[in-house]
Amino acid sequence: MPACETCGETITQPLCGACLGRQMAAWLQERVPERPELLLQLEDLTDDVLGDGEENCIKCRGPMRVCGRCYSEKVFSWVTRSLPFHAPEFETLFLGGVPEPVAFRPVRLLARA
């Protein structure tokens, strides 16, 4: 399975930045409709993670190279700086449902005596 270019973990929930970004843009428009420039900034953040990748998004079938968690964390960092009042809600909505990457270690099986 393909790995995320940011964290190196296997992409297990292949939802691309473009699809997540559309959901985040809708949330942003609801919260701060008077700040349309923020949508352009979000679009720039999204463009940074798009491109050729070995995994395809399960929603749009577009190629992806960064996992949903890394993309969401990148946008969360931006939201924290740009809209600190809305950061806790963003974190709950967009990071609460994406599990932390899990590092698997090989398990040594014991031989039966």
The whole-chain average pLDDT of the chain stands at 84
Q: To 10 degrees, what angle do helices 17-31 and 68-82 make?
A: 30
pLDDT in tens, 11-21: 888 888 899 99
Average pLDDT, integer, range 46-58: 84
Give the bridge partners for 56, in sequence order: 63
Q: Return the domain boundaries, the chain.
A: 17-95
Helix (H, G, I), strand (E, B) or coil at 65: coil
pLDDT in tens, 100-113: 555 555 555 566 65
N- to C-terminal Cα distance for the chain?
Answer: 36
